[in-house]
Structure 1
Amino acid sequence: MNEEVLFYYAILAGGIICMVLSVLLYFWLREDNGIEFSLFFRLVLLCLFGVGLVWYSAPSLKYVVYHDYATTKGVCTVEYNDESKPRTIDLYYDETGDYFSFLDRAELGAYGPDVPYTCHVTTTKDHEFEISYRIYDFKTDKLLYSSE
């Protein structure tokens, strides 16, 4: 299982944990005489944050669980930002305008808009979460790097 799938499950689990924790803390901290408004407000925000994470990740759950992925193929350019934390690699498809970002570092000879590559990016069917990618040489179609 790669980092992107683990990141998806972390988002989903974090949302569920935030929702359950906020409800449990409400009943545990509530005394017979009530709860302070500021604490109640924080618990509501924690619950809403959890709902937001689940709302964002739940539509793609069936695609991730059943490995129902789509692959986007075409000519792309690779951007790599060495200064960002965490280090990311960005793939831009010039023809379609698609953009994909991965938490990875591909060892390629050159980066930037002047160096075209052929890329195969695997995403969920709804294109919300990136799964993996492969970078090929534009002229020879030789595999240069794979995140799988």
Structure 2
Amino acid sequence: MDAQERDLEEIYNQIKQYEPFKPIPIFEVYISAFSILITITLFWFPFLMEEAKSAGTLKLYGNLLEIMPQHWWAFVFALAALLKAFGLMFRFNNLRIAGLLVSAALYALIAFFFAMDYPNIGMIQFTCMAVFSLAAVFVVKHTTIRN
């Protein structure tokens, strides 16, 4: 009977220590990578927005440059990416939420400026990214990249 009781006790302890699997936040990882790529692009090509503005193809870049210079846009995208990345790596959900909110605000602003040049696909893409960034805020505590 002692061996059976020990076996049952061991099974009980394994069940007690079980933590449910949390899924990977795929969309959050995607927008983090997207923010990093935008940051790299804006730093790599320091006159990208200015050249596009002078080409006159979209009002988007001129509107964005009226708010702040290109390098500041790069810093804001980098901040959003770093908040999400550090939050994911070190399980700081508040950092993840802050990064998602910054991303949602950026994407909503860009979608708004794309809407001024309607119709275009950029408005649809950035609107969806803003909406899904806000939706991701509500599932932060249920997802992780570290199980």
TM interval, shorter chain, is: 0.3 to 0.5
TM-score for both structures, normalised by structure 1: 0.32
More strand by share: 1
Name which one, 1 or 2, has greater alpha-carbon Rg.
2
TM-score for both structures, normalised by structure 2: 0.33
More helix by share: 2
